[in-house]
Amino acid sequence: MMFVVFANTYLSWLPAWSSQGMFALLAVCFVVWVCLRLFWGSSQVRGRLGLLLLRCCSLGIIAVILMGPTMIDEQPGETSRPSLLYVFDGSQSMQLGRQESRWAESLRFVREGEQAAGPDNTQNRQAFRFGHQLQPLNLAAPSEMSSGTPLSLLPVAAADSNSPILPPDASDSRLADALRQLLPQVNAGATAGVVLLSDGRVRDSDTVEQLAEIFGKASVPLHVVPTGEAAGTGDIAVVSLVVPSRVRKYTENELQIFLRSFGYTGQRTMVRLKKRNHLTNAESDAFPAMPVTLSGGAQSVSMTFRMDEQSEDFVVTVDPIDGELTDRNNRVEARVDINRTKVRVLYVQGQQVPTQSFLNALFGGSSSTGSAPQDVRSALQADEDVECTVLLSLGGRAPQLVNSDGNRSGTTGFPATRAELFAYDCVVFADVGPNVLQEEQVQWLSQWVEGRGGGLIVTGSDALDSQAWADSPLEALLPLTLTAARPSPVQTVNAVVTAPQHPVWRLRLEERPNAELLQQLPPLKVSVAGYVAKPTAEILATDNQSGDALLMAHRAGRGRVLVSAVGFGGTDLATLNSGWGPQPERVAAKFWRNMVYWATEGSSTGRRRLIASSDKRFYRPGDSLSVSAMAYDEGARRTQKYRVWAMFEPTSLDDMSLYSPLLWPDNVVRESGEVGPRIAWGEELPLTPDATDNGYQMKLMLSETGSTGDSGFRIEMTAYEGEESASAFNHGTQVDSTSLAVQILSDPFEQQNPLPNHELLHRVAAVSGGSVLESPEQLTDLLKNRTVTRGPPHRDLTPAWSRWWLWLCVLGCLTTEWIWRRVTGLA
Amino acid sequence: MIERSQNSKVRNTLSVCRLLRQWTLISFMFAVQIRCVGQEGSDLAARTSVAAKDEVGKYDFVPEVPQSDVSENLTLEDGPVLRWSNPTAGSVYGDVFVWTHHGRPEVVGSFHQFHGTFQQTALELTSLSPYGIRGYCRGQQVWHPEKPGIELKPMTNSPAPAAVTSGRLVQMRQLARQFSVQLLDRRNGEVLRELRLMAQPVFRYSPTDPELVDGAVFAFVEGTDPEAVLLLEARRSDGDPGWMFGFARMNIHPLQATHNKTAVWAVDEVIPPYTRPNDTFTTLFLKAPKE
């Protein structure tokens, strides 16, 4: 770039002719004058002083013009300086630092150096950042740099916007690639040097040194600004958090925390899971902290949390250790929302409270059932995410539907098809056994619990009639043996809660009030004896006197079964509600909801026709990924009669990449036209039927060098039947579709060693002929000491002959002289 | 004594009446249940599909395009585009068909049959058209909504439509995920149901209209039964394409939709009669085909 230092204006004589020419002209003029005098006689103006003056003036002006007086406006020649290139390290390790991050330190260094150099010395410099690749930046003029804010740097693409530069977020430091890209742009004459601002923790350090030598040979020195404190002892970083984005209320969920530590092998620290208040942003330790012994490198910590009624913002922190480089990377946040899919409960009440009128009995009108079953429905539906259908079985007959107004509808209520039953999440037998159902319905119920994770709750002594369960496949699913069970006289027992931490007993959020409430459990009635809890059963409550189990639970296949020898349904619920806890708080209603939520925790909603799952909760680059899908027909039976297609898409709309981190499988013909090794976003792949479990499966490999980072991707799966459609957009008649989120956990190079590598930077400076800049003043000197090359001055000439008024003077004199002569009669 | 004897006779008569009524009811219910239990859901669904194919072929729809003298029938697309079941509602199966105008879906029809104790065969029709529609069954007009069936609104904070088809599908799926739809089920009390978005659009189209870049119809379902449809379209307005959305009902119950927790659409319950020839959503009750 050329620029002007100062300007000067002066008068100079630049005659149109040379001196010989001028003499020749004078001589010619003299000869002409002599000839005129000789042939025309003496001049008429002799003795007329005015005329003489006019002629002399005219001649004088012409003579002056011929002498070439010129005003010269001279501006000094433009000076140029060789360019100086700033190369900023834009990788994640530059976020480290105690009071000031390494990135902020780099920006401050350049800002202070440039401001001290002043605007005259801060021309012709360029800026770049590197991470995965070299990216040009727009560098603001020093006058625009505010001392209070970081150096104004903008990506070239965002030059017209007001968006500031992004913080260093690259998960890799490819300095060698960056230098290789810079090399063609620099040469000794045009480039004063490259200023590298980095912590030195870069990939391929050997190649970096070789490239530095090449820069040295090209007489383009690499000056280095080492950032970061080399005195730190190590660092701990929370790399990633794997947690489902939507979960059901009151369910227990696993949370996987991935840590990376350096320099603290064998030391212990604490991992804390906190909840953040939506309104105040205050963080509270809602879960006990977990001690962890750092192993050096990557390691995972698993924690569980129980979801309450609302979406939660979780914060995971790791306690910092003395001397840690920074604690900024010791925390990660995640939001978990509530899955609002309704929990559908089918409540079968066996207790009969008939109050039929004469006319009802005669004409078969709807009959009132009393409010007992309604109480359970109200208790459950007080939770907006629970839906309850109430059936009433009278005298051992098939259960009938009870309308929301409390009247029996007169229609058989228990699902008449397998699919309808599988659409429920929980079935409750209150004071009634399964003998009121058809044999096929009991078979479905058994398959539903074991295979689809349905929750079965049995409550009341009347429900534990051994005859009612005899030869039923459901008996094997119960947490107790009923072989010796027999009715006994009704007796009142005081129940003792033996597993107060069990979710069904979580009636209050705080532990202490909850424990007090459990102690206030009112006396309960039992009229059955002789049953024996199975070894697999978890005893939740016992009789204070006899020690007999009263409430038992266990898992059966994919489902859960909970059995209570005491009655909680029907009229017992009203008694329990009025006698338990402060009134009018309905503690028993909450207890009912707890039982339902616990029982349905493993329920895979049977309303769906396509369910997909992956073999792991998270994946690393290079891992194999196995996806399986189960399709169900209209009868809720597993089937392979559909075609299942998968399509891949990024998690975020902001992801502008074209390809997923998945590799296209070798044995599948590709019809999309794509030829690259990776699967493109939006590309489709069929799942193949799997003979082992009557489902579908797909096996894929993740690329070693995925660019998706930790975000992962989604697999959209669709089941089709019928003929392939002529439309290019689908594969037939859609039956169902579902979405599967896949989390990828990368272990970025950047976090493998957080300590700066200043030795590398010193070597780079040494082999390239550059210097190590320890202070901004050195950068100032570097800017000032660039060789200045001055160009020829720029002159702006204004000669006298180009002044119109001079010519007007000549013309005026001659005109006046002529008029004078005419007036005086001389012409 | 006489009085006691009369009371006893009345009681006996009542008991006999009650017994007879209960036995009759039980026998009927048992018969119905046996019939239903004996049949697989897939068989019933297959029967419904055959009936659906026969039924929808009888219908023609004509859009009332303003300032157009040409009356052009809508095109019934290859289908059905969706075969559904809804075990929450009972033993009900159905097929969804789409009629298009120059590639754009204008009418969505859902043919369904209830089997079991409650039996019903019906065709639900909903208009997605920006114009009025005339619907004919074997030449006889059965439906004539004069108003547009859907109101398209621009999507806020949405990206510009991608240049490639596959990219736009990815965008549409992600945009559709920003919506949620709730249905207030009043069949037995009031139950507010969160409907599930089917990840794959039930119908994707590339219309011939130069103003329309791309579009898809998504279904919000209970089971796999579409209760509301979401239309997403990339349209050019002032030269720049942008995303538009609109909802249409496929159920008589109240429905409401939110976009990123902001209410964007709501409809009230359809009051009987459900066959409403001039509304943009109607239910045509049909005779069950003979087996």
CA pair distance A153, A165, nearest whole angstrom? 6
B112 near A CB under 8 A? no
Q: Which of B49, B53, B83 to mutate to test the interface with A (most CBs of A within 10 A)?
A: B83
In this predicted structure, the answer to whether residue A690 has a pLDDT above a threshold of 50 is yes
pTM listed for this prediction:
0.73
Residues 650-679 of A with CB under 8 A from B: 650, 653
CB neighbour list of residue A168: distance below 8 Å, 6 or more residues apart: A89, A90, A91, A92, A93, A94, A95, A103, A129, A131
Q: What's the average model confidence in pLDDT over A805-824? A: 88
The confidence score (pLDDT) of residue A140 equals 67
Find the range with the poorest average confidence among A79-83, A245-249, A729-733. Answer: A729-733
Q: Sorting pLDDT into bands at 50, 70 and 90, what band is A596?
A: very high
CA pair distance A495, A493, nearest whole angstrom? 6
8 A C-beta contact, residue B170 and residue B203: no
The confidence score (pLDDT) of residue A144 equals 55
Q: Which helix (H) or strand (E) holds A91?
A: none
| Contact flag B171-A438 (C-beta cutoff 8 Å) | no
| Contact flag A420-B159 (C-beta cutoff 8 Å) | no
Residues 248-277 of B with CB under 8 A from A: none
Q: What's the gap in Å between the CA of A718 and the closest CA on chain B?
A: 7
Candidate ranges A574-578, B17-21, B93-97; pick with highest mean pLDDT: B93-97
Mean pLDDT (chain A) is 84
Distances from the Cα of B96 to the Cα of A306, A394, A717, B133, B225, angstroms:
41, 41, 20, 18, 9
| Contact flag A634-B93 (C-beta cutoff 8 Å) | yes
Contacts of A717 in chain B (CB under 8 A): 199
| Contact flag B37-A342 (C-beta cutoff 8 Å) | no
Q: Which is more confident, A751 or A624?
A: A624
C-alpha closest to that of B84 among B220, B235, B178: B220
A505: tokens are 């007993």
CA pair distance A695, A697, nearest whole angstrom? 7
CB neighbour list of residue B69: distance below 8 Å, 6 or more residues apart: none
A631: tokens are 């399709």
Q: Is A442 helix (H, G, I), strand (E, B) or coil?
A: helix
Exposure of A418 by Cβ count < 10 A (0-12 exposed, 13-18 middle, 19+ buried)? buried
CA pair distance A653, A647, nearest whole angstrom? 16
Q: Which is more confident, A142 or B230?
A: B230
CA pair distance A127, A104, nearest whole angstrom? 15
A726 near B CB under 8 A? yes
Strand partners of residue A253 = A305
In this predicted structure, the answer to whether residue A367 has a pLDDT above a threshold of 50 is no
The confidence score (pLDDT) of residue A368 equals 42
Strand partners of residue A407 = A368
| Contact flag B83-A721 (C-beta cutoff 8 Å) | yes
Q: What is the pLDDT of residues A538-565, one digit of tens each?
A: 999 999 888 899 999 999 999 999 999 9
A724 near B CB under 8 A? no
Q: Which of A311, A417, A418 to mutate to test the interface with B (most CBs of B within 10 A)?
A: A417
CA pair distance A476, A474, nearest whole angstrom? 5
In this predicted structure, the answer to whether residue A707 has a pLDDT above a threshold of 80 is no
8 A C-beta contact, residue A130 and residue A94: no
| Contact flag A404-B188 (C-beta cutoff 8 Å) | yes
B226 near A CB under 8 A? no
Phi, psi dihedral angles at A155 (to 5 degrees): -60, 145
Q: Are strands B75-76 and B92-101 parallel, antiparallel or unpaired?
A: antiparallel
Give 3-state DSSP helix, strand, coil % of chain B, rounded to 5: 20, 40, 35
The confidence score (pLDDT) of residue A134 equals 86
Residue type at position A402? V
Find the range with the poorest average confidence among A172-186, A813-827, B7-21, B267-281. Answer: B7-21
Q: Which residue has the tokens 């579009």?
A: B215
Q: Ramachandran region of residue B140, left (φ > 0), alpha (ψ -120 to 50) or beta?
A: beta
Q: What's the average model confidence in pLDDT over A741-761? A: 81
CA pair distance B133, B144, nearest whole angstrom? 6
Find the range with the poorest average confidence among A267-271, A739-743, A770-774, B217-221. Answer: A739-743
CA pair distance A174, A131, nearest whole angstrom? 6
The confidence score (pLDDT) of residue A328 equals 81
CA pair distance A361, A359, nearest whole angstrom? 5
Find the range with the poorest average confidence among A131-135, A704-708, A711-715. Answer: A704-708
C-alpha closest to that of A748 among A657, A621, A660, A654: A621
Distances from the Cα of A775 to the Cα of A124, A149, A762, angstroms:
21, 19, 15
The confidence score (pLDDT) of residue A369 equals 44
Q: Is A523 helix (H, G, I), strand (E, B) or coil?
A: coil
Contacts of A401 in chain B (CB under 8 A): 188
8 A C-beta contact, residue A545 and residue A529: no
C-alpha closest to that of B176 among B152, B194, B158: B158
The confidence score (pLDDT) of residue A799 equals 87
Q: What's the average model confidence in pLDDT over A56-72? A: 86
Tally C-beta pairs within 8 A across A and B. 160
Residues 202-241 of A with CB under 8 A from B: none
